[in-house]
Amino acid sequence: MTSTSPTTALTATPRPRPAGRRRRPLAALLGLVVLLAGYTAWTQARPVRLTAAVEIEATPEEVWQVLTDFAAYPEWNPFMTSAEVTSKGGRLEEGARMRIVLHSGTGDTTFTPEILAAEPGRELRWLGRMGPGWIADGEHRFLIERTGPGRVRLTQSEEFTGVAVPFFAGQLKSDTLPQFRAMNEALAQRAGELSR
């Protein structure tokens, strides 16, 4: 007679992973978050600024009239070919939304900024955002300053912040700044005609 001995199954018991291996992915993720947060803060602290100014033979009120006559933009404005206030009953005031079409050599871009300041004869300022507000923001400003009797300086400027801005800084300076200058010159010509 043959006897059989019971067979024992060998089962491998999983060995616990060393604690260091479990922490590595978490540490890498945390490092990435810290790196991105630092980069975001750096881009906010180091904006790209564009500024163009022009002297105009007109009063602050005449310059303001041309600047805020959005319906006439297609007639004279080579940069902002369309603009309108789309909220608050079309009133140009703080908190209102606008719809603006910018024209450049690469085509038209539409954006919907929020008005931050609208002080007649003095300042128009808005904030445009790309995405949730940290990708690329542009605070655009028109400042009208009296420099003498019947003469003003119009300064158009924009401050760009956000994580995408450093990648486009050169393009902003080479493409957008000349558009500011072209608009300023066209506005100066139109306001000068108005003041005659």
Give 113-141 pLDDT, tens digit per residue.
Answer: 999 999 999 999 999 998 776 788 999 99
Give the C-alpha distances (Å, rounded to integers) separating 159 from 13, 153, 181: 62, 19, 16
**What are 74-115's pLDDT values in tens digits?**
999 999 999 999 999 999 999 999 999 999 888 899 999 999
pLDDT confidence band for 160 (50 / 70 / 90) = very high
DSSP class of 96? -
Q: Report the range out of 31-35, 163-167, 178-182 with the highest average pLDDT.
A: 178-182
Which pTM does this prediction carry? 0.77
State the residue for tokens 């200058």: 181
Contact 160, 136 (CB under 8 A): yes
Closest by alpha carbon to 84, among 100, 65, 66, 67?
Answer: 100
DSSP class of 176? I
The CATH number of 49-195, from 3.30.70.260, 3.30.530.20, 1.10.1030.10, 3.40.50.150, is 3.30.530.20
pLDDT confidence band for 53 (50 / 70 / 90) = very high
Strand partners, 151: 148
Contacts of 94 (CB under 8 A, 6+ apart): 115, 116, 117, 118
